[in-house]
Amino acid sequence: MTTRSETQSTLDHLLTEIELRNPAQPEFHQAAHEVLETLAPVVAARPEYAEPGLIERLVEPERQVMFRVPWQDDQGRVRVNRGFRVEFNSALGPYKGGLRFHPSVNLGVIKFLGFEQIFKNALTGLGIGGGKGGSDFDPHGRSDAEVMRFCQSFMTELYRHIGEHTDVPAGDIGVGGREIGYLFGQYRRITNRWESGVLTGKGQGWGGSLIRPEATGYGNVLFAAAMLRERGEDLEGQTAVVSGSGNVAIYTIEKLTALGANAVTCSDSSGYVVDEKGIDLDLLKQIKEVERGRVDAYAERRGASARFVPGGSVWDVPADLALPSATQNELDENAAATLVRNGVKAVSEGANMPTTPEAVHLLQKAGVAFGPGKAANAGGVAVSALEMAQNHARTSWTAARVEEELADIMTSIHTTCHETAERYDAPGDYVTGANIAGFERVADAMLAQGVI
Protein backbone atom coordinates (compact mmCIF):
# COMPACT_ATOMS: atom_id res chain seq x y z
CA MET A 1 0.00 0.00 0.00
CA THR A 2 1.31 3.45 -0.91
CA THR A 3 2.20 5.58 2.11
CA ARG A 4 0.80 9.04 2.68
CA SER A 5 4.25 10.62 2.19
CA GLU A 6 4.74 8.79 -1.13
CA THR A 7 1.31 9.93 -2.27
CA GLN A 8 2.05 13.52 -1.29
CA SER A 9 5.31 13.38 -3.26
CA THR A 10 3.34 12.27 -6.33
CA LEU A 11 0.82 15.08 -5.84
CA ASP A 12 3.63 17.62 -5.43
CA HIS A 13 5.11 16.46 -8.73
CA LEU A 14 1.70 16.88 -10.37
CA LEU A 15 1.43 20.43 -8.98
CA THR A 16 4.79 21.25 -10.58
CA GLU A 17 3.48 19.93 -13.89
CA ILE A 18 0.32 22.01 -13.56
CA GLU A 19 2.41 25.18 -13.16
CA LEU A 20 4.53 24.29 -16.19
CA ARG A 21 1.54 23.39 -18.38
CA ASN A 22 -0.46 26.44 -17.35
CA PRO A 23 1.98 29.35 -17.22
CA ALA A 24 0.93 32.81 -16.01
CA GLN A 25 -2.23 31.49 -14.33
CA PRO A 26 -1.52 32.12 -10.63
CA GLU A 27 -5.15 31.90 -9.51
CA PHE A 28 -5.52 28.46 -11.08
CA HIS A 29 -2.22 27.33 -9.54
CA GLN A 30 -3.45 28.52 -6.14
CA ALA A 31 -6.78 26.68 -6.45
CA ALA A 32 -5.04 23.46 -7.54
CA HIS A 33 -2.56 23.67 -4.66
CA GLU A 34 -5.35 24.29 -2.15
CA VAL A 35 -7.14 21.10 -3.20
CA LEU A 36 -4.28 18.74 -3.98
CA GLU A 37 -2.33 19.46 -0.81
CA THR A 38 -5.24 17.95 1.17
CA LEU A 39 -5.82 14.80 -0.91
CA ALA A 40 -2.87 12.62 0.18
CA PRO A 41 -4.83 10.84 2.96
CA VAL A 42 -7.72 9.80 0.71
CA VAL A 43 -5.51 8.76 -2.22
CA ALA A 44 -3.29 6.74 0.12
CA ALA A 45 -6.36 5.04 1.60
CA ARG A 46 -7.96 4.42 -1.79
CA PRO A 47 -5.18 3.73 -4.32
CA GLU A 48 -7.74 3.16 -7.10
CA TYR A 49 -7.93 6.95 -7.36
CA ALA A 50 -4.28 7.14 -8.39
CA GLU A 51 -4.15 4.36 -10.96
CA PRO A 52 -6.22 5.55 -13.99
CA GLY A 53 -4.69 9.02 -14.14
CA LEU A 54 -7.80 10.26 -12.40
CA ILE A 55 -6.30 13.30 -10.70
CA GLU A 56 -4.39 14.21 -13.88
CA ARG A 57 -7.73 14.20 -15.71
CA LEU A 58 -9.46 16.11 -12.92
CA VAL A 59 -7.10 19.10 -13.16
CA GLU A 60 -7.39 19.33 -16.97
CA PRO A 61 -10.62 20.95 -18.26
CA GLU A 62 -12.73 18.82 -20.56
CA ARG A 63 -13.12 21.83 -22.83
CA GLN A 64 -11.87 25.43 -22.95
CA VAL A 65 -13.53 27.96 -25.24
CA MET A 66 -12.18 31.47 -25.88
CA PHE A 67 -13.75 33.81 -28.42
CA ARG A 68 -13.90 37.38 -29.71
CA VAL A 69 -16.83 39.59 -28.66
CA PRO A 70 -17.24 42.67 -30.91
CA TRP A 71 -19.92 45.24 -30.01
CA GLN A 72 -20.78 48.90 -30.61
CA ASP A 73 -20.89 51.54 -27.91
CA ASP A 74 -23.40 54.39 -27.90
CA GLN A 75 -21.05 56.57 -29.94
CA GLY A 76 -20.92 53.97 -32.70
CA ARG A 77 -17.36 52.90 -31.92
CA VAL A 78 -16.64 49.19 -32.29
CA ARG A 79 -15.22 47.62 -29.14
CA VAL A 80 -13.66 44.16 -28.85
CA ASN A 81 -13.58 41.99 -25.72
CA ARG A 82 -12.68 38.39 -25.02
CA GLY A 83 -15.21 35.76 -24.01
CA PHE A 84 -14.45 32.56 -22.10
CA ARG A 85 -16.18 29.35 -21.10
CA VAL A 86 -14.23 26.59 -19.36
CA GLU A 87 -16.23 23.37 -19.12
CA PHE A 88 -14.18 21.63 -16.46
CA ASN A 89 -15.88 18.41 -15.39
CA SER A 90 -19.25 16.83 -16.22
CA ALA A 91 -18.98 13.51 -14.34
CA LEU A 92 -21.91 14.43 -12.07
CA GLY A 93 -24.09 16.34 -14.52
CA PRO A 94 -24.13 19.23 -16.98
CA TYR A 95 -21.48 21.89 -16.43
CA LYS A 96 -22.79 24.50 -14.01
CA GLY A 97 -21.22 27.80 -13.03
CA GLY A 98 -21.55 31.52 -13.45
CA LEU A 99 -20.47 34.11 -15.98
CA ARG A 100 -18.27 36.94 -14.70
CA PHE A 101 -18.01 40.29 -16.53
CA HIS A 102 -15.06 42.22 -15.08
CA PRO A 103 -11.80 43.72 -16.42
CA SER A 104 -9.77 41.25 -14.33
CA VAL A 105 -11.18 38.23 -16.18
CA ASN A 106 -8.68 36.08 -18.08
CA LEU A 107 -8.29 32.38 -18.78
CA GLY A 108 -6.46 31.68 -15.51
CA VAL A 109 -9.17 33.33 -13.43
CA ILE A 110 -11.91 31.40 -15.23
CA LYS A 111 -10.01 28.12 -14.79
CA PHE A 112 -9.59 28.72 -11.07
CA LEU A 113 -13.29 29.47 -10.72
CA GLY A 114 -14.27 26.44 -12.82
CA PHE A 115 -11.99 24.12 -10.82
CA GLU A 116 -13.46 25.35 -7.52
CA GLN A 117 -16.94 24.86 -8.97
CA ILE A 118 -16.37 21.13 -9.47
CA PHE A 119 -16.05 20.51 -5.74
CA LYS A 120 -18.60 23.11 -4.67
CA ASN A 121 -21.24 21.58 -6.91
CA ALA A 122 -20.36 18.07 -5.76
CA LEU A 123 -20.85 19.08 -2.12
CA THR A 124 -24.45 20.13 -2.78
CA GLY A 125 -25.32 16.48 -3.52
CA LEU A 126 -27.12 17.59 -6.68
CA GLY A 127 -26.48 16.38 -10.24
CA ILE A 128 -24.33 19.23 -11.58
CA GLY A 129 -20.78 19.36 -12.94
CA GLY A 130 -18.34 22.24 -12.79
CA GLY A 131 -17.70 25.08 -15.24
CA LYS A 132 -17.26 28.85 -15.39
CA GLY A 133 -17.16 31.62 -17.96
CA GLY A 134 -17.18 35.33 -18.57
CA SER A 135 -15.47 38.24 -20.25
CA ASP A 136 -13.10 41.14 -19.57
CA PHE A 137 -16.01 43.47 -20.41
CA ASP A 138 -16.77 46.01 -17.67
CA PRO A 139 -20.51 46.77 -17.38
CA HIS A 140 -19.87 49.51 -14.81
CA GLY A 141 -20.79 52.89 -16.27
CA ARG A 142 -22.22 51.40 -19.46
CA SER A 143 -25.75 52.19 -20.60
CA ASP A 144 -28.43 49.53 -20.74
CA ALA A 145 -28.24 49.65 -24.55
CA GLU A 146 -24.47 49.05 -24.51
CA VAL A 147 -24.83 46.16 -22.06
CA MET A 148 -27.56 44.67 -24.24
CA ARG A 149 -25.44 44.86 -27.40
CA PHE A 150 -22.49 43.29 -25.61
CA CYS A 151 -24.60 40.46 -24.17
CA GLN A 152 -26.16 39.75 -27.55
CA SER A 153 -22.74 39.52 -29.19
CA PHE A 154 -21.42 37.35 -26.34
CA MET A 155 -24.33 34.92 -26.61
CA THR A 156 -24.07 34.75 -30.41
CA GLU A 157 -20.91 32.71 -29.88
CA LEU A 158 -21.65 31.10 -26.51
CA TYR A 159 -25.02 29.61 -27.51
CA ARG A 160 -23.42 26.80 -29.54
CA HIS A 161 -21.59 25.51 -26.45
CA ILE A 162 -24.43 25.47 -23.88
CA GLY A 163 -27.80 23.83 -23.27
CA GLU A 164 -29.88 22.52 -20.38
CA HIS A 165 -28.33 19.04 -20.71
CA THR A 166 -24.83 20.28 -21.56
CA ASP A 167 -23.82 23.49 -19.79
CA VAL A 168 -25.98 25.84 -17.72
CA PRO A 169 -24.41 29.25 -16.97
CA ALA A 170 -25.62 31.67 -14.30
CA GLY A 171 -24.60 35.09 -13.05
CA ASP A 172 -21.49 36.12 -11.14
CA ILE A 173 -19.68 39.44 -10.62
CA GLY A 174 -21.00 41.94 -13.18
CA VAL A 175 -23.77 39.63 -14.36
CA GLY A 176 -27.11 40.20 -12.65
CA GLY A 177 -30.74 40.00 -13.67
CA ARG A 178 -30.34 42.59 -16.44
CA GLU A 179 -27.51 40.71 -18.11
CA ILE A 180 -29.16 37.30 -17.72
CA GLY A 181 -32.28 38.70 -19.39
CA TYR A 182 -30.36 40.00 -22.40
CA LEU A 183 -28.38 36.75 -22.68
CA PHE A 184 -31.51 34.60 -22.50
CA GLY A 185 -33.33 36.74 -25.04
CA GLN A 186 -30.51 36.34 -27.56
CA TYR A 187 -30.31 32.57 -26.94
CA ARG A 188 -34.05 32.28 -27.58
CA ARG A 189 -33.76 34.45 -30.69
CA ILE A 190 -30.95 32.35 -32.19
CA THR A 191 -32.23 28.88 -31.31
CA ASN A 192 -35.99 29.44 -31.68
CA ARG A 193 -36.43 27.47 -28.43
CA TRP A 194 -37.89 28.42 -25.06
CA GLU A 195 -35.27 26.44 -23.17
CA SER A 196 -35.69 27.98 -19.76
CA GLY A 197 -33.22 25.61 -18.13
CA VAL A 198 -30.28 26.89 -20.21
CA LEU A 199 -29.56 29.81 -17.83
CA THR A 200 -30.27 30.31 -14.15
CA GLY A 201 -30.77 33.54 -12.27
CA LYS A 202 -33.69 34.45 -14.53
CA GLY A 203 -36.48 36.84 -13.63
CA GLN A 204 -39.17 35.36 -11.41
CA GLY A 205 -41.88 35.96 -13.99
CA TRP A 206 -40.13 33.94 -16.71
CA GLY A 207 -38.55 30.88 -15.17
CA GLY A 208 -36.50 32.20 -12.28
CA SER A 209 -36.61 30.83 -8.75
CA LEU A 210 -37.59 32.68 -5.63
CA ILE A 211 -34.66 33.08 -3.18
CA ARG A 212 -32.07 32.75 -5.99
CA PRO A 213 -30.77 36.34 -5.58
CA GLU A 214 -30.46 35.80 -1.84
CA ALA A 215 -29.13 32.24 -1.91
CA THR A 216 -25.34 32.71 -1.82
CA GLY A 217 -25.46 35.23 1.03
CA TYR A 218 -28.12 33.33 2.96
CA GLY A 219 -26.25 30.04 2.54
CA ASN A 220 -22.99 31.53 3.74
CA VAL A 221 -24.60 32.77 6.93
CA LEU A 222 -26.28 29.39 7.49
CA PHE A 223 -22.88 27.69 7.15
CA ALA A 224 -21.30 30.15 9.59
CA ALA A 225 -24.14 29.48 12.03
CA ALA A 226 -23.54 25.72 11.75
CA MET A 227 -19.83 26.19 12.51
CA LEU A 228 -20.71 28.24 15.60
CA ARG A 229 -23.25 25.64 16.77
CA GLU A 230 -20.52 23.02 16.56
CA ARG A 231 -18.68 25.16 19.14
CA GLY A 232 -21.70 25.66 21.36
CA GLU A 233 -22.55 29.21 20.18
CA ASP A 234 -25.06 30.90 17.90
CA LEU A 235 -25.29 34.09 15.84
CA GLU A 236 -27.46 36.03 18.28
CA GLY A 237 -25.62 39.14 19.46
CA GLN A 238 -22.45 38.54 17.43
CA THR A 239 -20.81 41.44 15.58
CA ALA A 240 -19.92 40.72 11.93
CA VAL A 241 -17.73 42.42 9.33
CA VAL A 242 -18.73 41.86 5.71
CA SER A 243 -16.73 42.92 2.66
CA GLY A 244 -18.32 43.88 -0.64
CA SER A 245 -21.64 45.54 -1.38
CA GLY A 246 -22.91 43.46 -4.27
CA ASN A 247 -25.50 40.70 -4.29
CA VAL A 248 -23.61 38.31 -2.00
CA ALA A 249 -22.71 40.96 0.58
CA ILE A 250 -26.20 42.48 0.68
CA TYR A 251 -27.94 39.19 1.37
CA THR A 252 -25.24 38.07 3.77
CA ILE A 253 -26.01 41.21 5.78
CA GLU A 254 -29.75 40.57 5.46
CA LYS A 255 -29.52 37.03 6.84
CA LEU A 256 -27.11 38.02 9.61
CA THR A 257 -29.59 40.67 10.73
CA ALA A 258 -32.51 38.23 10.58
CA LEU A 259 -30.64 35.78 12.83
CA GLY A 260 -29.76 38.42 15.42
CA ALA A 261 -26.21 39.34 14.47
CA ASN A 262 -25.05 42.92 13.91
CA ALA A 263 -23.36 43.43 10.51
CA VAL A 264 -21.44 46.70 10.76
CA THR A 265 -19.53 47.01 7.47
CA CYS A 266 -19.77 46.95 3.69
CA SER A 267 -17.23 47.97 1.06
CA ASP A 268 -16.38 48.49 -2.59
CA SER A 269 -13.22 49.37 -4.51
CA SER A 270 -13.29 52.95 -3.16
CA GLY A 271 -13.16 51.98 0.54
CA TYR A 272 -15.42 50.75 3.30
CA VAL A 273 -18.21 51.90 5.59
CA VAL A 274 -18.51 51.24 9.32
CA ASP A 275 -21.99 51.65 10.77
CA GLU A 276 -22.09 51.04 14.51
CA LYS A 277 -25.90 50.74 14.49
CA GLY A 278 -25.69 48.01 11.85
CA ILE A 279 -25.99 48.38 8.09
CA ASP A 280 -29.30 49.86 6.93
CA LEU A 281 -30.26 47.37 4.23
CA ASP A 282 -32.91 49.51 2.56
CA LEU A 283 -30.43 52.35 2.10
CA LEU A 284 -27.65 50.04 0.90
CA LYS A 285 -29.96 48.37 -1.64
CA GLN A 286 -31.14 51.76 -2.92
CA ILE A 287 -27.58 52.97 -3.48
CA LYS A 288 -26.09 49.77 -4.92
CA GLU A 289 -28.99 48.04 -6.71
CA VAL A 290 -31.07 51.02 -7.89
CA GLU A 291 -28.63 53.92 -8.22
CA ARG A 292 -25.53 51.75 -8.89
CA GLY A 293 -23.61 54.16 -6.67
CA ARG A 294 -20.61 53.88 -4.32
CA VAL A 295 -20.58 53.11 -0.60
CA ASP A 296 -19.39 56.59 0.36
CA ALA A 297 -22.90 57.76 -0.54
CA TYR A 298 -24.23 55.39 2.14
CA ALA A 299 -22.15 57.11 4.83
CA GLU A 300 -23.24 60.57 3.63
CA ARG A 301 -26.92 59.68 3.83
CA ARG A 302 -26.95 57.39 6.87
CA GLY A 303 -26.03 59.95 9.50
CA ALA A 304 -23.79 60.06 12.56
CA SER A 305 -23.61 56.28 13.12
CA ALA A 306 -21.74 55.65 9.84
CA ARG A 307 -18.35 56.70 8.56
CA PHE A 308 -16.59 56.07 5.27
CA VAL A 309 -12.93 55.00 5.24
CA PRO A 310 -11.27 55.53 1.83
CA GLY A 311 -8.99 52.64 0.91
CA GLY A 312 -7.82 50.73 3.97
CA SER A 313 -8.94 47.29 5.06
CA VAL A 314 -12.40 46.35 6.25
CA TRP A 315 -10.70 43.63 8.31
CA ASP A 316 -9.30 46.28 10.67
CA VAL A 317 -12.78 46.57 12.23
CA PRO A 318 -13.05 44.41 15.39
CA ALA A 319 -15.70 41.69 15.11
CA ASP A 320 -16.71 38.18 16.17
CA LEU A 321 -17.33 37.01 12.61
CA ALA A 322 -15.78 37.88 9.24
CA LEU A 323 -17.53 37.10 5.97
CA PRO A 324 -15.42 38.04 2.91
CA SER A 325 -17.96 38.51 0.13
CA ALA A 326 -16.19 40.53 -2.59
CA THR A 327 -13.48 38.81 -4.67
CA GLN A 328 -10.49 36.46 -4.62
CA ASN A 329 -7.49 37.02 -2.34
CA GLU A 330 -9.01 40.02 -0.55
CA LEU A 331 -8.12 38.75 2.94
CA ASP A 332 -4.34 38.31 3.27
CA GLU A 333 -2.05 37.17 6.09
CA ASN A 334 -1.74 40.63 7.66
CA ALA A 335 -5.52 41.05 7.65
CA ALA A 336 -5.94 37.59 9.18
CA ALA A 337 -3.48 38.47 11.94
CA THR A 338 -5.50 41.60 12.69
CA LEU A 339 -8.74 39.62 12.86
CA VAL A 340 -7.14 37.13 15.27
CA ARG A 341 -5.81 39.92 17.50
CA ASN A 342 -9.31 41.41 17.57
CA GLY A 343 -10.82 38.09 18.70
CA VAL A 344 -12.56 36.79 15.59
CA LYS A 345 -14.28 33.42 16.16
CA ALA A 346 -15.19 32.38 12.63
CA VAL A 347 -14.44 33.32 9.02
CA SER A 348 -16.86 32.13 6.33
CA GLU A 349 -16.17 32.76 2.65
CA GLY A 350 -19.02 34.27 0.65
CA ALA A 351 -16.78 34.96 -2.36
CA ASN A 352 -14.66 32.48 -4.31
CA MET A 353 -11.20 32.00 -2.73
CA PRO A 354 -11.18 35.41 -1.00
CA THR A 355 -8.63 34.30 1.60
CA THR A 356 -4.99 33.75 0.68
CA PRO A 357 -3.38 30.39 1.62
CA GLU A 358 -1.14 32.07 4.19
CA ALA A 359 -4.17 33.70 5.81
CA VAL A 360 -6.09 30.40 5.89
CA HIS A 361 -3.21 28.65 7.67
CA LEU A 362 -2.86 31.49 10.19
CA LEU A 363 -6.59 31.46 10.98
CA GLN A 364 -6.67 27.67 11.39
CA LYS A 365 -3.56 27.70 13.58
CA ALA A 366 -5.23 30.30 15.81
CA GLY A 367 -8.26 28.03 16.24
CA VAL A 368 -10.64 30.18 14.20
CA ALA A 369 -13.46 28.24 12.53
CA PHE A 370 -12.85 28.65 8.80
CA GLY A 371 -15.51 27.90 6.19
CA PRO A 372 -14.01 27.61 2.67
CA GLY A 373 -15.98 29.04 -0.23
CA LYS A 374 -16.55 25.73 -1.95
CA ALA A 375 -18.68 24.79 1.07
CA ALA A 376 -19.82 28.08 2.60
CA ASN A 377 -20.94 29.83 -0.60
CA ALA A 378 -22.50 26.79 -2.28
CA GLY A 379 -26.00 28.10 -1.58
CA GLY A 380 -26.12 30.06 -4.82
CA VAL A 381 -25.41 27.14 -7.10
CA ALA A 382 -27.65 24.92 -4.97
CA VAL A 383 -30.66 27.15 -5.64
CA SER A 384 -29.59 27.42 -9.27
CA ALA A 385 -29.95 23.64 -9.46
CA LEU A 386 -33.33 23.93 -7.77
CA GLU A 387 -34.25 26.50 -10.44
CA MET A 388 -33.28 23.94 -13.09
CA ALA A 389 -35.56 21.39 -11.41
CA GLN A 390 -38.47 23.84 -11.42
CA ASN A 391 -37.82 24.66 -15.10
CA HIS A 392 -37.80 20.98 -16.00
CA ALA A 393 -41.19 20.48 -14.35
CA ARG A 394 -42.61 23.76 -15.75
CA THR A 395 -43.53 24.86 -12.25
CA SER A 396 -42.42 27.23 -9.50
CA TRP A 397 -41.97 26.72 -5.78
CA THR A 398 -42.87 29.02 -2.93
CA ALA A 399 -40.15 31.08 -1.27
CA ALA A 400 -40.68 29.07 1.92
CA ARG A 401 -40.06 25.78 0.13
CA VAL A 402 -36.91 27.03 -1.61
CA GLU A 403 -35.52 28.48 1.61
CA GLU A 404 -36.25 25.22 3.44
CA GLU A 405 -34.45 23.24 0.72
CA LEU A 406 -31.50 25.67 0.91
CA ALA A 407 -31.27 25.31 4.69
CA ASP A 408 -31.30 21.51 4.38
CA ILE A 409 -28.56 21.59 1.73
CA MET A 410 -26.30 23.92 3.75
CA THR A 411 -26.78 21.82 6.89
CA SER A 412 -25.93 18.70 4.90
CA ILE A 413 -22.80 20.34 3.44
CA HIS A 414 -21.62 21.34 6.91
CA THR A 415 -22.23 17.85 8.28
CA THR A 416 -20.45 16.23 5.32
CA CYS A 417 -17.41 18.49 5.66
CA HIS A 418 -17.23 18.07 9.43
CA GLU A 419 -17.59 14.29 9.37
CA THR A 420 -15.17 13.83 6.47
CA ALA A 421 -12.51 15.90 8.24
CA GLU A 422 -12.87 13.73 11.34
CA ARG A 423 -12.74 10.56 9.24
CA TYR A 424 -9.36 11.64 7.86
CA ASP A 425 -7.89 12.72 11.22
CA ALA A 426 -8.35 16.45 10.67
CA PRO A 427 -11.13 17.37 13.14
CA GLY A 428 -12.50 20.86 12.68
CA ASP A 429 -10.62 21.38 9.39
CA TYR A 430 -13.42 22.34 7.00
CA VAL A 431 -10.96 22.92 4.14
CA THR A 432 -9.77 19.31 4.24
CA GLY A 433 -13.29 18.03 4.80
CA ALA A 434 -14.74 19.99 1.87
CA ASN A 435 -11.94 19.08 -0.53
CA ILE A 436 -11.98 15.37 0.24
CA ALA A 437 -15.78 15.04 0.33
CA GLY A 438 -16.18 16.82 -3.00
CA PHE A 439 -13.28 14.89 -4.52
CA GLU A 440 -14.64 11.49 -3.45
CA ARG A 441 -18.01 12.11 -5.09
CA VAL A 442 -16.52 13.30 -8.38
CA ALA A 443 -13.77 10.65 -8.38
CA ASP A 444 -16.23 7.79 -7.86
CA ALA A 445 -18.31 8.99 -10.81
CA MET A 446 -15.22 9.34 -13.00
CA LEU A 447 -14.06 5.82 -12.13
CA ALA A 448 -17.48 4.41 -12.97
CA GLN A 449 -17.55 6.12 -16.39
CA GLY A 450 -14.15 4.99 -17.61
CA VAL A 451 -11.14 6.84 -19.01
CA ILE A 452 -12.77 9.69 -20.92
Query: Annotated active-site positions, please?
Result: 132
CB 88 within 8 A of CB 62: yes
Torsion of CA 227, 231, 232, 233, to 10 degrees: -50
Q: How far is CA 74 from the centre of its chain?
A: 33
- Encoded amino acid at 359, one letter: A
Measured between alpha carbons, how far is residue 58 from residues 118, 125, 377, 442, 445 in Å?
Answer: 9, 18, 22, 9, 12
Full DSSP string of 306-351: EEEEESS-GGGS--SEEE--S-TT-B-HHHHHHHHHTT--EEE-SS
Contacts 24+ apart (CB under 8 A), 293-297: 294/268, 294/270, 295/245, 295/266, 295/267, 295/268, 295/270, 295/271, 296/270, 296/271
Q: How far is CA 427 from the centre of its chain?
A: 24
Residue (of 405, 367, 370) closest to 384 by Cα position: 405
